[in-house]
């Protein structure tokens, strides 16, 4: 049976399996992040995750485990600070972001594994292990199942937290759980996309889907499709071009977004011109 060259390598098979899972969960969480105008949370938690990776390397712990713990703690920290600065909610994100960058810088300077840190910063398909794939699959299923089971509540708080609370939705609990899901998503995705770029995979496919979607569910579906396209194209380009997978995945997503906007503008112009011609023809009769 014929197999493409790219799939004849074990590390690429592992990269594609992990990549497909990442392509599904990042837009799934991203659609709620974007519509709640919380896009910067992804960047913030990813910088904290970097500190977790550095801490794991220093302590001899599997870096993704330590990154997951750091990200979850930071997620709860954001929620705590949001209450302390209710009139300046964005301060909570800025404070945790600054803490994450500072801590990551200190921990990286204390260690000697800068090359390994680089692979977590920008992603690495060659270093994706069977352990990574298992970790990604288990947590990805957890994220997808959680989102499906809590869909109605997450949908309500995305558009109107106050009304959701009045209708009996446990807003406080859902907010805490959702921000933990963001942290888990970052820990899952960073091996493929890289810590510095993981938030982009949450946002860019969603931005593309919003150009086409007519409803929330269709936006969610489109965003996963565009996420899959970006990951599959990006991993292929990174293999044949010997490029960082995170960068090629994100740029592939951005190119898809630009093409979508361009095609949509052309279609809209044609619709306007055709409607104008029909009006002119009706007036001339």
Mean pLDDT, consecutive 10-residue stretches, the chain (285 aa), reads: 72 89 93 86 86 88 88 87 73 87 87 70 79 89 94 89 84 88 88 83 93 91 95 92 88 95 86 62 54
The reported pLDDT for the residue numbered 279 is 52
The reported pLDDT for the residue numbered 11 is 85
* 53 contacts 120 by C-beta, under 8 angstroms: yes
The structure tokens 């023809």 sit at: 281
DSSP per-residue string spanning 239-284: HHHT--HHHHHHHHHHHHHHHHHHHHHHHHHHHHHHHHHHHHHHHH
Quickly name the fold that domain 13-203 has.
ABC transporter involved in vitamin B12 uptake, BtuC (1.10.3470)
pTM equals: 0.85
The structure tokens 């011609």 sit at: 277
The reported pLDDT for the residue numbered 233 is 94
Q: Angle at which helices 10-35 and 130-149 pack, to 10 degrees? A: 30
Q: What is the DSSP letter of 271?
A: H
The reported pLDDT for the residue numbered 167 is 84
The reported pLDDT for the residue numbered 196 is 77
* 143 contacts 189 by C-beta, under 8 angstroms: no
CB-side neighbour CA atoms (13 Å) of 102: 6
Domain boundaries, the chain: 13-203
Gyration radius from the chain CA atoms = 21
On the 0-12 / 13-18 / 19+ scale of CB atoms within 10 A, 122 is middle
């Amino acid at each position: 049976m014929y197999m493409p060259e790219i799939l004849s390598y074990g590390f690429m098979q592992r990269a594609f399996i992990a990549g497909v899972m990442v392509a599904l969960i990042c837009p799934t969480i991203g659609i709620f992040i974007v519509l709640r105008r919380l896009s910067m949370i992804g960047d913030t938690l990813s910088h904290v995750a970097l500190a977790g990776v550095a801490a794991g390397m220093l302590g001899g712990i599997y870096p993704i485990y330590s990154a997951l713990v750091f990200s979850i703690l930071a997620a709860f920290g954001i929620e705590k600070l949001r209450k302390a600065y209710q009139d300046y909610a964005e301060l909570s994100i800025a404070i945790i972001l600054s803490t994450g960058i500072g801590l990551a810088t200190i921990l990286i300077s204390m260690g000697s594994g800068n090359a390994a840190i680089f692979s977590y910063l920008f992603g690495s398909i060659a270093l994706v292990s069977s352990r990574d794939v298992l970790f990604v699959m288990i947590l990805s299923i957890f994220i997808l199942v959680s989102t499906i089971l809590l869909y109605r509540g997450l949908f309500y708080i995305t558009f109107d937290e106050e009304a959701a609370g009045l209708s009996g939705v446990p807003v406080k609990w859902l907010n805490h759980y959702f921000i933990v899901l963001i942290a888990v998503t970052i820990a899952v995705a960073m091996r493929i996309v890289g810590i510095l770029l993981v938030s982009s995979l949450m946002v860019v496919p969603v931005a593309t889907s919003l150009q086409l979607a007519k409803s929330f569910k269709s936006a969610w579906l489109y965003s996963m499709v565009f996420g899959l396209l970006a990951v599959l194209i990006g991993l292929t380009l990174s293999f044949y071009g010997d490029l960082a997978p995170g960068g090629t995945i994100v740029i592939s997503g951005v190119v898809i977004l630009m093409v979508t906007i361009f095609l949509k503008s052309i279609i809209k112009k044609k619709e306007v011109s055709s409607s104008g011609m029909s009006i002119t023809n009706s007036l001339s009769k």
